[in-house]
Amino acid sequence: MTTKTNNEDTQFRSRKDFKAFISEDSETLLEEALGTKVKILSVSEQSTDEQPDILAVMNIHEKTVFECELKQNPKTLANLLKHAAAYKAKNIIWCVNQESPEVMETADWLNKLISHEVKLYVLTVHIENFELKLKAILKPSANAYQKPTAKVTDTKQKQNEFWQAFHKYTTDNNSLIKISQPAPQHWMYLTIGISGVSIQLTINTAKNNLGCELLIANDKELFKKLEGNKKEIEKQLGKLDWQALEGKKSSRIRTTFDFNIEDKENLEQGFSWMVDTASRFKTVFNKYLKGDK
């Protein structure tokens, strides 16, 4: 995939190879470079202007867009801003194998303007002790304006308490279902080992229900493939809500369970449903996603 040119530089043979390095088994390297956890959700098959190379989350729940580029080009910066707006991303990560001083100057200037809304990072690759490493050559300024911390609403507080309790439940019961650090939000992602596909657990305090869904990013054909096996899948999982989400890049297949998260005495009933349903979703859908069916 790569060839070493000296102890400080590495040369990728193609942009595809560079994107593969960033997206495959590099979450630890990204965490080291950025100082926070990064969870990759999907990777585009082609590098186009219409979608980001990689879609991820940082800081548990902040949407993040990646672009991987061999030689830094100012046009890519414009595309990143477009993708950030489309996905309502809080972070932009621009991975380059060779930076340009002129473009870096523009990126630095832009970062100071937008850092109170969107954080821009530029990462590059270097060799350290004969291993490829990522390093940040541009980060948001530590002195950048910080928006006042939003007030935690009553709903957000209830969501956070529910996920905290669910996290403890899965840990105490050695569950195979593991969620990330609990946060005040209505959803939690679970990876299933397939790029661009994840299981999302949800709580809806307005409708008093819990949800479990298979979320498919940027692949309508995959959704259609699964829908072609709808009868067989529903024999195993029961009636499901198949949402193609026309006009959007993602699609989902979900089920819900009537449950009030404020019913503290019966929380384990809700936890048990989530663990069981997510486990069955992973087992059943993986057979079709991996071509075993």
β-strands 251-258, 241-243 pairing = antiparallel
220 falls within a domain: yes
Regarding whether 161 and 133 lie in a shared domain, the answer is no
pLDDT at residue 242, as a whole number:
96
Number of Cβ within 10 Å of residue 34's Cβ equals 20
pLDDT at residue 2, as a whole number:
40
CATH number for the domain that contains residue 184: 3.30.1460
pLDDT at residue 244, as a whole number:
92
148 falls within a domain: no
Regarding whether 161 and 266 lie in a shared domain, the answer is yes
Number of Cβ within 10 Å of residue 228's Cβ equals 11
201 falls within a domain: yes
Range of the domain at 131: 2-138
pLDDT at residue 271, as a whole number:
96
Using the 3D structure, point to which of 138, 165, 190 is the last residue of a domain: 138
Regarding whether 238 and 213 lie in a shared domain, the answer is yes
Q: Residue 43 forms beta bridges with which residues?
A: 54
Regarding whether 182 and 128 lie in a shared domain, the answer is no
Regarding whether 188 and 104 lie in a shared domain, the answer is no
45-103: pLDDT as tens digits: 776 677 888 888 888 788 999 999 888 888 998 989 999 998 899 999 999 888 888 88
Which residue positions in the chain have pLDDT lower than 50? 1-10, 143-149
Regarding whether 126 and 161 lie in a shared domain, the answer is no
Regarding whether 176 and 88 lie in a shared domain, the answer is no
CA 146 to CA 37: how far, in whole Å? 20
Regarding whether 176 and 131 lie in a shared domain, the answer is no
What proportion of the chain, given as a percentage, has pLDDT over 70? Answer: 87
144 falls within a domain: no
CATH number for the domain that contains residue 10: 3.40.1350
**pTM of whole model > 0.75?**
no
**CA torsion, ordered 173, 174, 177, 180, to nearest 10 deg:** 100
Total domains present in the chain: 2
